[in-house]
Amino acid sequence: MPDTPDTPDTKVIHYPAPQADISCFPKAYSADESVEIFELLKTDLDWQQAEISLHGRTVPIPRLQQWYGESDYTYSRLHMPARPMTPLLERLKHRVEDLTGFTYNSVLCNLYRHERDSVAWHADDEAELGTNPAIASLSFGGDRIFQFKPKSGETLPFDINLQAGNLLLMKGETQHYWLHQIPKTNKPTGERICLTFRMTYS
């Protein structure tokens, strides 16, 4: 991993959505650092093709994943056993903790192989995350559109274009009132890795 400056760029953008607290640190890592970190993560992490049962059929989920944390995690009926974070993940976690002011003990890692990989509408509201969780997601590789829509009401949906080196933070009541997704697209995007740091309570 490249040497990173001791003082990260703390510039932050706030998104003024009602009943939500969403912000983005656009330069958690520089463009050059992000290229190097992407390659390291691709080889360092134990990427797996998970499968879910849908209408009685077993289907692969449209991305590769791995879970690193102190306890097991169940997410959309997928069970992921506890496994220790790698030294690289620990180092990235410290940067994310410095910037966001929260501490994390686990990370769900996603590898989107191309523009047809995706994650469907959901909220990160599993019981293990406690109420009002802080979820910090660090992006590397190609740009992808991250969409928000309210669970109900008249508030408008909105999109954020997530780029390499961006750190998106969702906290407060966001998971109670909003859903998020990474939609499939027809525009070539290249590969993308997203690390979503969380605090889980067992």
Ligand X SMILES: O=C(O)CCC(=O)C(=O)O
Query: What residues line the site for Mn ion (CB under 5 A)?
Result: 124
Take residue 157 and report the two structure tokens written for it: 């949906």
Token code pair at residue 200: 């889980």
In this complex, which beta carbon is closest to Mn ion, that of residue 121 or of residue 201?
121
- Residue 175 touches ligand X, criterion: CB under 6 A: no
- Cβ-count burial of 79 within 10 angstroms (0-12 exposed, 13-18 middle, 19+ buried)? exposed
By CB under 6 A, residue 119 contacts ligand X:
yes
The only residue of 107, 138, 180, 189 in contact with ligand X, by rule CB under 6 A: 180
By CB under 6 A, residue 194 contacts ligand X: yes
Nearest distance from C-beta of residue 3 to ligand X, angstroms = 26
**Shortest Å distance, C-beta 122 to ligand X:** 7
Q: Are 140 and 98 in contact (CB under 8 A)?
A: no
How many angstroms separate the first and last alpha carbons of the chain? 32
23 token code pair: 């912000």
Q: Which does 182 bind (CB under 5 to 8 A by kind): Mn ion, ligand X, none?
A: ligand X
Q: How many residues does the chain have?
A: 202
Binding site for ligand X (CB under 6 A): 108, 110, 119, 124, 137, 146, 162, 180, 182, 194, 196
